[in-house]
Chains A and B, each alone.
Chain A
């Protein structure tokens, strides 16, 4: 086995950082409390029970889940397109979702179903609808060509973004709500978002892990994958479906949080290699950890006001990513 299999440093630091992230997330915030008060609030119900159980804890858990979901979705799509620059939003999930949210504001929908606003529902539906039609159009044109899927996705995404901008331009008062969608936020999140995302995320993680050997074959190219015995078409459809739904759910609960789904799988690949049997799991774990910290920063840096989390992920993620790429290039030559 190669040295990177024996590398314990990465998993151990991942666990420690994740624990630290969760502890800091319940500790820090507008209301100050001591560790004793936190322990009491979480386990035996003190004066801070409500803040801890209904605000900070679900928010940290949701941030973790969304980060994990986006990173897993990105890892799947990077393998799917054999392109380390693919991200969960590459097929138009994000543009579709923001169009849905803005559309809901524009026509003034105010209903709520299962505790979720019309904006969340419309965001979910339009993003799925957009990716679905992108898939059908490209399959119709040139079946099985991922280049065609990619280009159709980019075109459809651009069209949806144009419409979103048009509606935003017409209604200046929708701006604040629109920012929630365009840059992401966990400011409104609670347990119901967690329960929506959790089962679907776990299911996807298990299925992806199970079919990771097939994804390894797909990464070699469709012809080679098939020649090695991989049922290429079925596996491709499965992974596209899983990744799209994962990204759409994430956007529906937390808005568009960019960059996590791009840099996390890419960085993890540089650290532990391209084998998807490890890459899927570790991307999810790293993405979750990273977003817990980003959300912590988003709500504490300018406390009591919050920065959109998308600003933090890009501002922190981009330099780190460039550092990692540089180090990797130097390590090679």
Chain B
């Protein structure tokens, strides 16, 4: 049985649908990347699955249960959402932040934090490598560290599915890769089902099993990277001509920009052998 089944999902703000007619499904342990132009509805889709958008129509079934009929707390036990890193007004510590992921599992409040909560918080911080930062305030961390703290909080939530909204935005290339390595570890070792909204195609291609291309709120193409990363699809989705090359380490296709004729760009001029190589 599929873990997550999405049928005819429509969602948006102020009764204006941003995404329409979205249907797809995910098996346990699958890694899906949702890509598409700015404003195509990637973030809205990620939020809608958790019913975070003001209105949603259609069905999202998780383990056979209709998510939109569940209570807020029940949804939070099934799907964890990792927002984009943003500045917080109130500066909680790393440990306090991760501990908030346990809210959904804390039954009677006066009982306080149980051993189970403690060990889940520790485990989440260990997996994401933020345990050493536990007493630091979020404002003292780098963007990459903060993103990992938010992922730790989602792990503490102990859900089968992780939803991430552009986890690589605002990160340098080293941190971007680190985050995807972390996500892949979680997917393989913890059997987490992962759905990311991602704008950096070359970054997610080697790590996701399938890609979902959105355009103007509708699915334009979907499939494994080897099938959907081609010039025709990129042209349809982004209205952009690109060239594809093979990534030497993954063997998978990768996007390469075409810099249009007549534009001044930095180029290695073909010339004497001595030039750029040193």
Contacts and interface: CB of A to CB of B under 8 A. Distances in A.
B89 A229 contact: no
Given A84-B89, A220-B88, A226 B52 contact: yes
B14 to A, nearest CB: 9
Interface string B151-177: 001000100000000000000000000
A229 B77 CA distance: 8
B241 interface: no
A216 B47 CA distance: 21
Is the interface on chain B under 10, 10 to 19, 20 to 34, or 35 or more residues? Answer: 20 to 34
Contact of A275 (B81, B96, B103): B96
Given A82-B90, A274-B91, A223 B83 contact: yes
A19 B79 CA distance: 50
B92 A83 contact: no
Interface string A194-224: 0000000000000000100100110111011
A228 interface: yes
Given A217-B100, A223-B47, A274 B80 contact: no
A231 interface: yes
A275 to B, nearest CB: 6
Interface string A1-18: 111000000000000000
B230 interface: no
A229 B91 contact: no
A38 B95 CA distance: 50
Interface residues of A, number: 28
Contacts of A217: 100, 103
Interface string B65-104: 0000001110111011101000011111101100011011
Contacts of B71: 231
Given A227-B52, A228-B157, A275-B92, A2 B103 contact: no
Looking at B50, B83, B90, the one whose CB has the most chain A CB atoms below 10 A away is: B90
Contact of B135 (A2, A229, A232, A274): A2
Contacts of A144: 54
A59 interface: no
Given A82-B90, A274-B90, A216 B100 contact: yes
Interface string A299-333: 00000000000000000000000000000000000
Nearest to A223: B52
A228 B104 contact: yes
A269 interface: yes
A311 to B, nearest CB: 30
Given A213-B109, A229-B73, A230-B72, A2 B52 contact: no
Contacts of B103: 213, 217, 228-230
A273 interface: yes
Contacts of B80: 227
Interface of B: 47, 50-52, 54, 71-73, 75-77, 79-81, 83, 88-93, 95-96, 100-101, 103-104, 106, 109, 134-135, 153, 157
17 contacts: A1-B95, A2-B95, A216-B96, A216-B100, A217-B103, A219-B89, A220-B100, A226-B50, A227-B52, A227-B80, A227-B83, A229-B77, A229-B103, A229-B104, A230-B103, A273-B91, A275-B96
**7 interchain residue pairs of minimum CB distance:** A229-B76, A274-B90, A229-B104, A227-B81, A229-B73, A2-B135, A219-B90
Interface of A: 1-3, 79, 82-84, 144, 210, 213, 216-217, 219-221, 223-224, 226-232, 269, 273-275
Given A84-B89, A227-B76, 17 more contacts: A2-B93, A2-B135, A3-B135, A82-B90, A213-B109, A216-B92, A216-B96, A217-B100, A220-B88, A221-B83, A223-B52, A226-B50, A228-B76, A228-B100, A229-B73, A229-B75, A230-B103
